Amino acid sequence: MLDAVFSFRGRINRIQYFLGGLGLAFTVTVIAVVAIVGLVGARGVAGIMQAMLPLALVALVVGPVYLWVAFSLQARRFRDMGWNPLYVIPGWIVAEVAVRIATFGAASLMMDGLVVTMVINLFMSACLLFWPGQADAGSTPPTKTTRTPPPRPLPRTTVATAGQDLNAARSGFGRRGL
């Protein structure tokens, strides 16, 4: 069961990717709501600081697990689409980082960089959700090396001659004579 969530092997189709992403988002949302409720209950600066330590520990555990599962879902979906996830996912990350580095420091360029990264993410998310999977990704198409068997001969029918009884000429199957 856990292999289905944490494994990078295999393929998943569009609906499995969508439901997996929905389940992952629901789980992270529940954890965030619990964390916010715990933070709201704290009073004063000292109470908030005491509440932040457990939240930081939860974030240090939940963050890597979230990234692992998200990349696992994406890798299996990319494989279903026929794309190699070993090239696509690092390329996606490099594009994100390159845009962030190019727009770092200048406030006017930061908004442009955010728009560019949002467009990249929208494009990749749309591909993951709507790109049809391949029927048999990763395998070679079958070749026609086998011969088709010759057609079967038709079964012999027994014909009654003038001197034979019709019921005696028939086999054990079929209509019975009157």
What's the pLDDT score for residue 137?
47
Backbone angles phi, psi at 84, to 5 degrees: -85, 115
More confident residue, 113 or 68: 68
CA distances from 84 to 74, 137, 161, 164, 170 (A): 11, 11, 73, 75, 65
Residue 126 contacts residue 17 (beta carbons within 8 Å): no
Closest CA to 117 of 96, 135, 137: 96
pTM of the model as a whole = 0.65
Both tokens of 177, joined, read 């004579």
The domain segmentation of the chain, as residue ranges, is 7-130
What confidence tens digit (pLDDT) does each residue in 30-59 have?
A: 988 888 787 777 677 777 777 778 788 888
- The confidence score (pLDDT) of residue 107 equals 65
Whose tokens are 């198409």? That residue is 141
103 close to 109: Cβ distance less than 8 angstroms: yes
- CA–CA separation, 48 and 82 (whole Å): 49
Helix (H, G, I), strand (E, B) or coil at 121: helix
pLDDT in tens, 147-157: 777 777 776 66
